């Protein structure tokens, strides 16, 4: 779909059975929705994971893009 400023691929990933891997990872708290690239496409899945304290949402943390932004200031 896109590349970030470091040249990394930003994409939707699908399994052979048609399941969206991004949704699976987000819903279980194993990944974060980066609105800069997704434009909030996965906000619902992330909100559910956060509400249920799944995966990374079990504790407190700073989103990686916010941490990088703070370091650069």
Residue 14 phi/psi, 5-degree rounding, is -125, 145
23 burial via Cβ count (<10 Å: 0-12, 13-18, 19+): middle
Are the C-beta atoms of residues 11 and 1 closer than 8 Å to each other? yes
Radius of gyration of the chain (CA): 13
The Cα–Cα gap between 36 and 58 comes to: 24
Q: What is the pLDDT of residues 9-63, one digit of tens each?
A: 888 899 999 999 999 999 999 999 988 888 889 999 999 999 999 999 999 989 8
Predicted confidence band of residue 8 (pLDDT cuts 50, 70, 90): confident
Give the total number of structural domains in the chain: 1
Q: Which domain holds residue 52?
A: 2-72
Predicted confidence band of residue 1 (pLDDT cuts 50, 70, 90): confident
pTM, two decimal places: 0.78
């Amino acid at each position: 779909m896109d590349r970030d400023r470091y040249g990394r691929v930003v994409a939707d990933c699908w399994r052979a059975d048609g399941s969206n891997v991004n949704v699976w990872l987000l819903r279980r708290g194993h990944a974060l929705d980066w609105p800069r690239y997704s434009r909030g496409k996965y906000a619902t899945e992330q909100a559910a994971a956060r509400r249920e304290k799944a995966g990374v949402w079990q504790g407190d943390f700073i989103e990686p893009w916010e941490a990088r932004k703070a370091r650069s200031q």
